Structure 1
Amino acid sequence: MILIIARKELRSLFATPMGWLVLAIFQAIVGTYYSLSFNQYFEIMQSAHWQVQRIGLTQFMAEGVFGVAAVLMLFVVPLVSMKLISEERKNQTMALLMSAPLSMTELILGKLLGILSYLSLLILSMVLMIALLLPWAEIDLPYLLTHAFGLWLLMLASSALGLYISCLTANPILAAFCSLTALTFWLLLDKFFSDDHQALFHDFSLMQHYRQFALGILNSYDILFFVLFAGFFVLLAIRRLHADRLYG
């Protein structure tokens, strides 16, 4: 049942102009940065006379491409997650889902898997962009895959947050705005609380944990943080729908 819901959610994204428009704009911006980073790399390396000044092509390209992608995801995730549940409420089809022979856990996990499948296509396209340089340059695949995995975990956490907020309202526009606000807060939490005495808040920043993957560091602590963060908001979304089913 989870896979059926995920497939339906993925099809609905590509059945609307918004799904294709987001994909096209994302690819255009990322492709532009890809081209600029490629040209800038050789310009910088030509002026770097000392070996210590040189930087690997994979790291340079990934920092440019994945860096802009992380910023774009701040807007992409609220756009694609805003309709997950709020659209069902708005169209008054939520009652049909409540009466269907499926649990709220299956519904939430199916919708989350659907949106993650869509976002995974975006991440996969960036990996392929850089991997296409393999015939002409030495690509550090472990570093590239680690960076991509970190971005995927960031999208998992962001999507779970957007899904929960979508459960709270019947207005998709309001859900998108609240998701954007909440996601910005969680991403930049380390900037708001940068004092050493506020290290607890600093550690809750999504961007702080993503930076480790951007450095090519695969840390189980950072993986666990993203999984627990996503699991927390998934559980909140399930409990929210359970309450709607019981009390209306």
Structure 2
Amino acid sequence: MTLSDPWDSETAKAYDKLDAAMFAPAVLGPMVDRLAALAGGGRALEFAIGTGRVAIPLHEKGVPVTGIELSTAMIDELRGKVDDATIPVIVGDMATASAPGRFSLVYLVYNTITNLLSQREQVACFRNAARHLEAGGRFVLELGVPDLRKLPPGQTAVVFADQPGYIGLDTYDLLNQRVVSHHFRFGDDRQANLLRSAHRYVWPTELDLMAELAGFELEERSADWAGAPFTAESGSHVSIYRLAR
């Protein structure tokens, strides 16, 4: 599965507008409140900090935040909002890059662990989080539950969104646990803009095993940031892992 880098300069410049709904107070408020409580007065590290959607309001709530981000284009957009003294960012892969010091909280939101396209890389991400945490620190992930129940036998594609000016389509490689998300955006003319991104989907129980390999224990799993119960019908989850040592 070979795709061009979806996080180029053009995408980074439009990112906040493309995902404008994710900046709504109803979305960000419970997330930031929960992360601030989990930080417990300590420092937080965001893997894949992007344009600062979560880090900036978390910083404004009094939590010192550092980021790791692979896309320099996304960092450029972040730097248009805050400087490096306010929110330092290390350029690198969240599975391997190191930030100075120790943190009470490492967090990874918005399905981003699936950008790591192998199980080995995803396990390495857990281990990298563990390396950055103080004893008893927490690693928090926000992730969708793979929606394979929508796939009829023999079908490998499913529409996950159908809105005015936008269609979202996922194509699955079930053998390799991969999915490519196709985002079609269009206006009134005959042209459409396509953004594709590749992912490796992960089941909650698989995450738990990855966590155990890295020295974590599952502390809590809920269906959202407000703490709704996680059930078999939940479409996503917030999983909180605590470093066992």
TM range (shorter): under 0.3
- From the two aligned structures, give the one with the greater strand fraction: 2
Larger Cα-atom Rg = 1
TM-score w.r.t. length of structure 1 = 0.25
TM-score, normalized by length of structure 2? 0.25
- Quick check: which one's helix share is greater? 1
| Higher relative contact order (Cα pairs below 8 Å, separated by 6+ residues) | 1
